Copies of this chain bind each other. A is one copy, B any other.
Amino acid sequence: MRVIDIIDKKRLGGEHTDDEIHFLVRNYAQDGIPDYQMSAWLMAVVWRGLTPAETFALTGAMVASGDTLDLSGVGRPTVDKHSTGGVGDKTTLAVVPILAAGGVAVAKMSGRGLGHTGGTLDKLESIPGTRTSLEVPEILRQVHDIGACLCAQTPTLVPADQKMYSLRDATATVQSRPLIAASIMSKKIAGGGKSIVLDVKVGSGAFMETIEDARALARLMVDIGKAYDRRVVAVLTDMNVPLGFNVGNSVEIREVVALLKDNAGVDRRLRELVLYLSGVAFELAGKADSVEAGQEMAASLIVSGDAFEMLCKIIEAQGGDPEYLRRTVKQPAARVKLDIRSPRGGYIRNVDASVIGVAAMRLGAGRETKDAVVDHSAGVVLRHTVGDLVERDNIIATLYTATEIAARQVASEVVGAFDIVDGEVDAAPLIYETISG
């Protein structure tokens, strides 16, 4: 078998055999195939696509390139959760403790933020002392003892994906449905959870900008899961508007704490999505008879304080300071704080997630390039959201950052993210549809 023939076959629109895909992935992961051949193949895949059978084989080949987590010893049902990423999406930080508090084990591995979307690891690391790089034995022990972990993907899990993703990122070959689906699902399958809840974001602040694209991706991921004996439910959710009020790192931790402490004033959409995803997971794990019953279970785990205590336990197990969580009611100490005022009165029809995401990144909360350093205290806090009535000069958002200049540079963009109109408007949408095997 020759790589050049595999590339050529895809260039001509042919369908690969399982052997061809395993040959390609195995040898690439072991440095037996140079980057320049893999990137040519990847671009040919972006062009010609992959059939479902090819996509299943690619997923399996990537899983086979490294270790897999064996969660059979934790003695509880296991669930994994993934979001395709969005602005202000901190659901993982609430859903994982809720599930663990409800007796479902979650070995959750997350990524870092890049571009306009945030990353769970950066948010976690804004809690002093918290370690996110856990070794496989540590992950297994913590999930066994506590019921959950929140950590980085280990380097030995799906190394082919890690190598391929870096290459795709440098060669404009990220945008391919089968490549995206295989990348996500290979990590979920290697992660060992028997059930998987996927949150597929749709809108200006997400990878998928249309419902059709998101639905096709969700369907493909559910099918991949089925091929590997996983129960998968994908939820299509809105990402035209940021999720929650806070976008950044420590500001998002603060919002998660408020949600888990059942404080007043938490964004309705954020709370609703956390409960829904938890409900889906409880139902999949056999802890509830229906999604609705699962949602109620999640709500009572919040009210009882169990979910918040579980978050504290997870953070403490990973070296973080739970007292930080208990005390973190005041604003984080960003050097500069700038209030953004409404240029007019009216109803807020839209707050553009993409614009807010880029603004938060420019304030220091995210990374423009992979090597950039994140400012944990930076971010955007929305004071009003879609559906709200505001008057001229009301504070609609607050920016947190390190310098006056940085704040002033993004201020007008943040104003521009708000679409304010005369007539009353509906609240922003949240859940579009739920797809299961």
Contact = CB atoms under 8 A, between A and B. Distances in A.
Interface of A: 4, 7-8, 11, 34-40, 42-44, 46-47, 167, 170-173, 175
16 contacts: A4-B171, A11-B172, A11-B173, A11-B175, A35-B35, A36-B38, A36-B167, A36-B170, A36-B171, A37-B39, A37-B170, A40-B40, A40-B42, A40-B43, A40-B173, A43-B47
Contacts of A35: 34-36
Contacts of A173: 11, 40
B170 A11 contact: no
Given A35-B35, A47-B47, A40 B172 contact: yes
Nearest to A47: B47
A42 B172 CA distance: 12
Given A40-B43, A47-B43, A47-B47, A172 B34 contact: no
A40 to B, nearest CB: 4
Copies of this protein in the assembly total 2
B47 A171 contact: no
Given A11-B175, A39-B40, 9 more contacts: A4-B172, A11-B43, A34-B36, A35-B35, A36-B38, A36-B171, A40-B42, A40-B43, A43-B47
A25 to B, nearest CB: 16
Given A35-B34, A35-B36, A36-B35, A172 B8 contact: yes
A29 to B, nearest CB: 15
A422 to B, nearest CB: 38
Nearest to A3: B170
Contacts of A44: 43, 47, 172
A46 B39 CA distance: 14
Given A11-B43, A44-B43, A47-B47, A4 B37 contact: no
Contacts of A4: 170-172
Nearest to A10: B172
Nearest to A37: B171
A171 B43 CA distance: 11
6 closest A-B pairs by beta carbon, nearest first, are A40-B171, A43-B43, A35-B36, A8-B172, A7-B172, A36-B39
Contacts of A172: 4, 7-8, 11, 40, 44
A391 to B, nearest CB: 42
A26 to B, nearest CB: 19
A224 B376 CA distance: 55
A170 B4 CA distance: 6
A207 to B, nearest CB: 14
A44 B46 CA distance: 9
Contacts of A171: 4, 7, 36-37, 40
A28 B399 CA distance: 42
A377 to B, nearest CB: 30
A303 to B, nearest CB: 48
Contacts of A39: 36-37, 39-40, 43
A367 to B, nearest CB: 15
